[in-house]
Structure 1
């Protein structure tokens, strides 16, 4: 029993690396936000031993706020870039 319709969607044929690259080209500030988040968390964990007499909970809260702030900033810049590209930079017919 053969079918004449060959359903081959490109999204199902992609591996994870090419899908991430395609999504990064569509929204370039998402990987920037993810990388910044990872960098801030890594730096906060590195500085965990030398936090002085600051409580661990306060240190973790500061680290979380910094990481969230970076991600929200990247999302805001990405949204502004997307709006600029869609409304102002688009050539008028």
Structure 2
């Protein structure tokens, strides 16, 4: 992933909220994954009393697997989005470079 050199701040001088905002800008779906994780864990705790005949360990394993799946899916989608965004930026940069070269060639021929 690309790093914005203009907004670089040493880690010891960066606040927690600033660091969180920077991370959210770099990977926008990671906070979604963390929120999904929290919702699934809260729901699992809520359903803990009404689990019926299911053993406690099985209930906790199912809750953990669902929460991890949510985080992994959000991280994978965020990574795919970042890769696609960088690919589109590189493509537009190459297009502009080629068009500038064509303009230079055309102006030198005249």
The aligned residue for residue 70 of structure 1 is 70
Which consecutive residues of structure 2, in runs of 5 or more, have no partner in the other structure? 1-7, 95-110
Moved over 6 A (4+): none
**Which secondary structure state, in structure 1, belongs to the residue aligned with residue 19 of structure 2?**
helix
TM-score, scaled to structure 1: 0.81
1:3 aligned residue: none
SS at match of 2:93: coil
Larger radius of gyration: 2
Alignment length (residue pairs): 84
1:27-60 CA distance string (max 9 Å, x none): 1111111111111111101110111111111101
Provide the residue aligned with 2:48 in structure 1.
48
CA RMSD of aligned residues (A): 1.4
Q: SS at 1:64's partner residue?
A: helix
Q: Which runs of 5+ in 1 are unaligned?
A: 1-8
Higher helix share goes to which structure?
Answer: 2
In 2: Cα distance, 1:72 partner to 1:33 partner: 7
User: Does 2:20 align with 1:20?
Assistant: yes
> What's the TM-score, normalizing by structure 2?
0.70
Which residue number corresponds to residue 33 of structure 1? Answer: 33
